[in-house]
Amino acid sequence: MENSNENVTAFGWAARDTSGVLSPFNFSRRVTGEKDVQFKVMYCGICHSDLHQIKGEWSNSIYPMVPGHEIVGVVTEIGSKVEKFRIGDKVGVGCLVGSCRKCVNCDNDLENYCRDQIMTYNGIYSDGTPTYGGYSDIMVTDEHYVVHWPETLPMEAAPLLCAGITTYSPLKYFGLDKPGMHIGVVGLGGLGHMAVKFAKAFGTKVTVISTSLSKKDEAIERLGADSFLVSRDPDQMQAAAGSLDGIIDTVSAIHPLLPLIDLLRSHGKLVMVGAPEKPLELPVFPLLLGRKLVAGSAIGGIKETQEMVDFAAKHNITPDVEIVSMDYVNTALERLSKADVKYRFVLDIGNTLNKS
Q: Which CATH number fits domain 8-161+320-348: 3.90.930.12, 3.40.190.10, 3.40.50.1000, 3.90.180.10?
A: 3.90.180.10
Query: Which pLDDT tens digit goes with each residue over 275-321?
Result: 888 899 999 999 999 999 999 999 999 999 999 999 999 999 999 99
pLDDT at 59 over 90: no
Class of the domain covering 164-296:
alpha beta
Give the C-alpha separation, 93 to 4, whole Å. Answer: 22
In this prediction, residue 58 carries a pLDDT of: 86
- Residue 246: strand pairing partners: 183, 269
Q: CATH 3.90.180.10 in the chain, residues?
A: 8-161+320-348
Query: Which pLDDT tens digit goes with each residue over 33-56?
Result: 999 999 999 999 999 999 999 999
Segment 173-177 long-range contacts (CB within 8 Å, at least 24 positions apart): 173/297, 174/246, 174/269, 174/271, 174/295, 174/297, 176/202, 176/204, 176/245, 176/246, 176/248, 176/269, 176/271, 177/202, 177/204
pLDDT at 1 over 50: no
- Residue 295: strand pairing partners: 271
Give the C-alpha separation, 302 to 144, whole Å. Answer: 8
Q: CATH 3.40.50.720 in the chain, residues?
A: 164-296
User: Do residues 147 and 90 make contact, with C-beta atoms less than 8 angstroms apart?
Assistant: no
Record the pTM.
Answer: 0.95
Average pLDDT over residues 155-163: 98
Average pLDDT, the chain: 96
